[in-house]
């Protein structure tokens, strides 16, 4: 460390019970930020005005702000297991309502990731726990598009289900009353579907980008799903 952290608790002194090492990390981070920019925190206190909302998986390998290189205050985030958007989930809906009606974000990205454990468990039939009920929403995606999974090995099917789940959850965002109302009153709001690669840190656009109430959302969903399925087949086919 180059900064003066002699007054701060170190990882070696930390009592793991009270997470002293994390408080030490926190103090160093706070000092580093204010050393670089003395007004950094006072600006954050003054206002929260993010242009983007991220709906992603809870997976610890998918840190929203880091992936798109945005600072605190620039990204409004909601995360859950397998980045699912359910019409009765008050947590997700409340976050969406606040993002759209109060913060007036302009872009909502549903971001899944390859290698998602929740999606894999769905493919394998579940874990015999509470999460299985939550993952039924991902299983619905699998059942809805089952024809595209015929003949795929598990790894390829896993990648494809991660992608199709993103498209379906982004579609669910488009169907919420908050998004529909925003579009109806002419508010700028674009919904996106992305899938992030843990192996290389690269995010991919699932080509499901909706910037207003479409005449036929289902047709756009079908087209996006068919595109991902076709790309999967191409990747599988030996050249
Ligand atoms: Zn995940």
pLDDT, tens digit, 9 for 90 and up, residues 194-230: 999 999 999 999 999 999 999 999 999 999 999 999 9
User: Among residues 114, 112, 108, which one has the least CA distance to residue 93?
Assistant: 108
CA distance 208 to 36: 39
pLDDT, tens digit, 9 for 90 and up, residues 98-156: 999 999 999 999 999 999 999 999 999 987 889 999 999 999 999 999 999 999 999 99
Q: Is the pLDDT of residue 39 over 60?
A: yes
pLDDT of residue 235: 83
pLDDT of residue 6: 47
6 compared with 54, residue with greater pLDDT: 54
Residue 211 is labelled as binding a ligand: no
pLDDT above 90 coverage of the chain, percent: 85
Summary mean pLDDT of the chain: 92
Residue 15 is labelled as binding a ligand: no
Which among 43, 61, 180, 235 is annotated as catalytic? 61
pLDDT above 70 coverage of the chain, percent: 92
pLDDT of residue 2: 42
Beta bridge partners of 77: 54
**Burial of 91 from C-beta contacts in 10 A (0-12 / 13-18 / 19+):** exposed
Residue range 79-94: mean pLDDT, rounded: 97
CA distance 100 to 144: 29
* 175 has catalytic annotation: no
pLDDT band at residue 1, thresholds of 50, 70 and 90? very low
pLDDT of residue 127: 78
Distance (angstroms) between ligand 1 centre and the Cα of 143 equals: 19
User: Among residues 36, 118, 60, 41, which one has the least CA distance to residue 84?
Assistant: 118
Tokens representing residue 18 in the block: 């009270």
Which stretches within 39-192 are classed as H helix?
Answer: 40-46, 64-67, 90-97, 117-124, 131-144, 154-175, 177-184
Whole-prediction pTM value? 0.90
CA distance 10 to 28: 10
pLDDT of residue 200: 95
CB atoms within 10 A of CB 192: 21
Tokens representing residue 87 in the block: 């019409």
Which among 78, 113, 137, 158 is annotated as catalytic? 113
Residues with CB under 5 A from ligand 1 (ion): 57, 59, 116
């Amino acid at each position: 460390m180059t900064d003066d952290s002699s007054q701060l608790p170190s990882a070696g002194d930390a009592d793991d019970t009270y997470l002293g090492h994390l408080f030490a990390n926190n103090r160093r981070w706070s000092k580093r930020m204010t050393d670089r920019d003395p007004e950094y925190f006072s600006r954050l206190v003054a206002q929260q005005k993010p242009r983007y909302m991220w709906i992603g998986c809870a997976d610890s390998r998918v840190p929203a702000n880091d992936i798109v290189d945005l600072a605190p205050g620039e990204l409004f985030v909601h995360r859950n297991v397998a980045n699912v958007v359910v019409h009765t989930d008050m947590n997700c809906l409340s976050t969406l309502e606040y993002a759209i009606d109060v913060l007036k974000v302009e872009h909502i990205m549903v971001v899944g990731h390859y290698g998602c454990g929740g999606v894999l468990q769905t493919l394998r039939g579940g874990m015999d726990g509470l999460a299985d009920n939550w993952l039924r929403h991902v299983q619905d995606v699998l059942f809805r598009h089952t024809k595209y999974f015929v003949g795929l090995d598990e790894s390829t099917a896993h990648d494809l289900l991660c992608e199709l789940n993103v498209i379906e959850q982004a579609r669910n965002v488009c169907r919420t009353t908050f998004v529909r109302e925003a579009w109806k009153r002419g508010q700028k709001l674009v919904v996106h579907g992305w899938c992030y690669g843990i192996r290389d840190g690269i995010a991919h656009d699932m080509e499901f980008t909706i910037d207003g109430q479409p005449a036929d959302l289902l047709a756009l969903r079908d087209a996006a799903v068919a595109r991902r399925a076709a790309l999967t087949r191409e990747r599988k086919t030996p050249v």
